[in-house]
Each structure stands twice: as structure tokens, then as C-alpha cells.
Amino acid sequence: MRKLMTLLRLSYGQKLFLLATVPLILAVAAISLLVANQSRQLAEREIATLEDQLIEAKKAELRNYVTQARNGFYYVYGSAAPDDEDAKRQVMQILAAMIYGTDGFFFVYDYDGKNLVSPRQTDMIDRNWSGLTDSEGTPVVDELIAIARQGAGYHSYLWQKPSTGKEARMITYVTSFPSWRWAVGTGVFIDDVLASVAKARADVETRVRQTSMYILAITLAALLLVFMSGLFITIRERRLAETKLKELTQRVFDAQEEERGRVARELHDGISQLLVGVRYALDSARRRLGAGDRSGEDMLDKGIDHLSGAIQEVRRISRDLRPGVLDDLGLGPALKALTDDFATRTGIDVDFNTVVFRNRLDQDAKIALYRIAQEALTNIERHAGASKVTIDVRGHKKGATLRIADDGGGIPSETTSQPGSGLGLRNMQERVEQLEGTLRIFSSRSGTVIVAEVPLTHMLQPQENATETRKARA
């Protein structure tokens, strides 16, 4: 079962392919069924109409045959008495001689069911066929006599075809000679009509199958096109993803190297110089005290001052790498410490305003906003030439917003239009995008404004906030 579930797990590409192909297959199947059904219904109506027209033509032909035959011997029948046997024999001879085509003939039955004329099947003459039915159980002679008694009409049944000796569907038109109590008629076989109808139905089925095959071929071509397009897009997207991954990896390496370089410079320019001063002061104090010079104590005090400065520098670097106040007290106090240090170090006036968050932001949001502020202040220090900076951070119904503004000379327009073009701005953009937030930059010759917004999803609920506070205190 576990192996089956493993096999049923689909990759993202397979799910996407199924999402694109399954509706297409279902739609094509529905269209195929609808087209086939509509085609069959339309063709069946047309075939039924054709069959009716052909049969009506046969009936009209039969009626004309009987009418012409009656007109041919009416001069005999019209003047003969009911018991005129000579007239009857003369009429029977005329009807027996009236054969047409390969299977056409006239027949005569008296009202008792006795056959009087049957030129194609002479073995039936002078025999009573009352109660005769065809292979389907349809009454033949009795029905013909009943129709004749009513005047005239049509009857359809199976009858042996003289030319083949096999049963075939036959339509008969029968009329009556009431004074002689005769049922006179003729019939025509409609197996040719039925064969034409069957051929038409077979042609319809062939066309339906061909149409289904065409639809299937088009569907397969569409599926192949979808598959090839998906394969092309997958390969292209994979290559783009690999390229972006390489670029991202390179950016991570660049950021790491830049951070290492910054730390190295600060260690060399700050702590290293201070420690060299401490070593020099201690060495000088050792020599002077060894020589009995009291000024060695001053050199010790100077060394202690240098050592204190080194300790403060180490703390500053440590705070820049990971400020402990951010974890302990939250974003507001951490930004306050950052701005105070920035103002002391650079001499730039900083106005910091915040609404008490009560540690409501989650850890990712706090780190991201702190790093954005840190990056912005670094850019201001290096490039803006500003004399005043305003930082405002507050929460609201939609989340949290950090706004940083300066009165410097602004940044180039191409950098403003593409926030990710510079390494620092690109880092800001990526941090905000990871939080599903937005970063907006407005820059002019009178200054620059950076607005970072974090969505409400990164604001902790009160109970979660209390838990985070207890963990921080622990």
C-alpha cells in the first residue's frame, strides 16, 4: 500500500500536465459523444424520410399497376353477371398474363381464401390458403381478403421471392371485385429499399467513426503539443531557475564577502589599532616602572583606556552582527539603540518615532525590518550626504510599516526605478519579498524616502506574544 501511495505521488510538472490535459480529454470526449449522437439522430431522420419516400413511391407504383390492370379488363367485368364463369376465366387469363420485371405478378383470391391466379407460383392455384402467415407470424391471405372487403389498401409481409427463392419484405396493394367476391392485387419486393437504407446507415456509422478518429487525432496532436510545450517551458524554467539560483548563490557569497570585509576593516581599523596602543602603553609602562619612573602609571591608565575602547568596539561589532536587544526587548528598542549609535558615530541628527509594539512582530519580521533600517542608515552614511534622518515604525490594521526618510541628495533614477539593482537595495527588496510585503522607494534631489510594509500575517496573536516573551525571558 505504501509503495502504491509512493507511485501515486505526482511531481509538480505531472500535476500541471494533468491539470492541462484532463479537462481537455473530458471536453473532447463530451464533444465526440455529442457529435456522434447528433450525427446519428440527424442521419436517422434523413434515412427514415428517404425510406418513407421510397416506400410511398412503391405504393403509388402498385396502385397504378392495379388501376391500369382493372381498366384493361373492366369491359369484361363491368358487363358480366356474378355467375358468369366465362367472363371470370377471361379475366383470370388476362391477370395471369400480366407479369412484369423479374418478380412482379398479379394474384387473385376469393373471399374464402382460395387462390385463383398466381403465375409465378402455380402450385398455389386452386388451393385454400386461409390462415396462412409468414415466418414472423403476420397473417397474409386473411388480411388481404379483409382489406379487399373494406375496398382497397396496402399490406406488408414476408414472401418468397421468385427470382431467389428466399423470403423478402413485400408490399402489396389489393382491391376487390365485390360482385365476384374476389381480392385482386399485386406486390413489389422492397429488399432493394431496405438494402439502400442499411447501406445508408452503414455509411453513417462509417462517417461517425471517421469523425471520431479525426477528433481523436486532433486530441492526440493537441496533447502532444501541450506535452511538448510543457516540456519546453519546464526545461526553460529549470534553466532560468538554475541561472537565478547561481545568481542568488553568487549574491550570497558577495554579501558574505562584503560582510567579512567590513568586519575585517573594523577589526583592523578599530580593534587592531586599539590593541596596538594597549600593547605600546603596557610595554612603555613596564620600561618606565622598571627604571623607577612614576610616569609609567600614566601609561598604564592610557593602556586601560585603550583596552576599554577595544571592548566597546567589540561590543559594537557584535551588536551590528546580531543585536541582543532585538531578541530581548523587541524591534523598537533595537532600532532606538541603532539610531543612537548612528547619530553618535556620524553626527547626523536622527528623529526616531515608534508606536509601542509590545513585541507583536514575529522573529522574521523583526530581523527583516531591523536589517532594512541598518542597510538604509549605512547607505545614508556612505552616499546621501544628509544632515537629518527620520525613522518611523508603527503597527496598523494591515500589518506594520517602517518609514525612513533623509534630506540628502537622493539616489540615481535608474536605481530608484529598479530597487534590486544595488546590492544594499536588492537585499532590502529580497527581505521584504520573503515576508510577502512591499518595498517602495521615493527619491529626489531633496531626499529619499524608503517605505517597507509587512503584512498582518507576521503580527503575533496576544497569546503567542506572551509565549514568545516568556521564552525570551527564560
Angle at 207 between CA 205 and CA 209, to 5 degrees: 70
- DSSP for residue 272: I
Query: Residue 167: which residues within 8 A CB-CB, separation 6 or more?
Result: 134, 135, 158, 159, 160, 161
Range in 115-124, 200-209, 357-366, 386-395 with the lowest mean pLDDT:
357-366
- DSSP for residue 103: T
Do 406 and 387 touch, CB atoms closer than 8 A?
A: no
Angle at 105 between CA 102 and CA 107, to 5 degrees: 155
Range in 37-51, 198-212, 277-291 with the lowest mean pLDDT:
277-291
- Of residues 330 and 220, the one with the higher pLDDT is 220
| Whether this model's pTM surpasses 0.75 | no
Do 113 and 141 touch, CB atoms closer than 8 A?
A: yes
Q: How confident is the model at residue 327 (pLDDT cuts 50, 70, 90)?
A: low
β strands within 161-254, DSSP E: 167-177, 182-189
Query: Residue 96: which residues within 8 A CB-CB, separation 6 or more?
Result: 106, 117, 119
> What are φ and ψ of residue 128, in 5° steps?
-90, 125
Phi/psi-derived region of residue 232, left when phi > 0, alpha when psi is between -120 and 50, beta in every other case: alpha
C-alpha cell at 446: 531633496
Tens of pLDDT, residues 335-360: 888 888 888 888 888 888 887 555 57
Tallying the residues shown for the chain, one arrives at 474
Q: Is the predicted pLDDT of residue 145 greater than 90, yes or no?
A: yes
The closest of 225, 223, 231 to 22, measured between CA atoms, is: 223
Query: What SS3 class is residue 240?
Result: helix
User: What gap in Å lies between CA 371 and CA 363, rounded to an integer?
Assistant: 12
Angle at 367 between CA 365 and CA 370, to 5 degrees: 105
Give residue 472's pLDDT.
Answer: 46
CATH of 324-473, one of 3.30.565.10, 1.10.760.10, 3.40.710.10, 3.40.50.300: 3.30.565.10
Q: SS3 string of 131-164? A: CCECCCCCECHHHHHHHHHHCEEEEEEEEECCCC
User: What gap in Å lies between CA 283 and CA 300, rounded to an integer?
Assistant: 9
What topology does CATH give the domain 81-189? Beta-Lactamase (3.30.450)
Give residue 83's pLDDT.
Answer: 86
Q: Could you give the angle at which helices 12-79 and 191-266 cross, rounded to 10 degrees?
A: 170
Give residue 466's pLDDT.
Answer: 46
User: What gap in Å lies between CA 213 and CA 230, rounded to an integer?
Assistant: 25
- Residue 446 amino acid letter: S
Give residue 2's pLDDT.
Answer: 57
Q: Is the predicted pLDDT of residue 104 greater than 50, yes or no?
A: yes
User: What gap in Å lies between CA 127 and CA 147, rounded to an integer?
Assistant: 20
> What are φ and ψ of residue 100, in 5° steps?
-145, 150
The closest of 351, 460, 469 to 400, measured between CA atoms, is: 460
Angle at 33 between CA 31 and CA 35, to 5 degrees: 65
C-alpha cell at 45: 431522420
C-alpha cell at 432: 521584504
As annotated, the residues of the chain forming the CATH 3.30.450.20 domain(s) are: 81-189
Q: Taken in order 370, 375, 378, 379, is the CA torsion positive or negative?
A: negative
Range in 245-254, 314-323, 338-347 with the lowest mean pLDDT:
314-323
Give residue 262's pLDDT.
Answer: 67
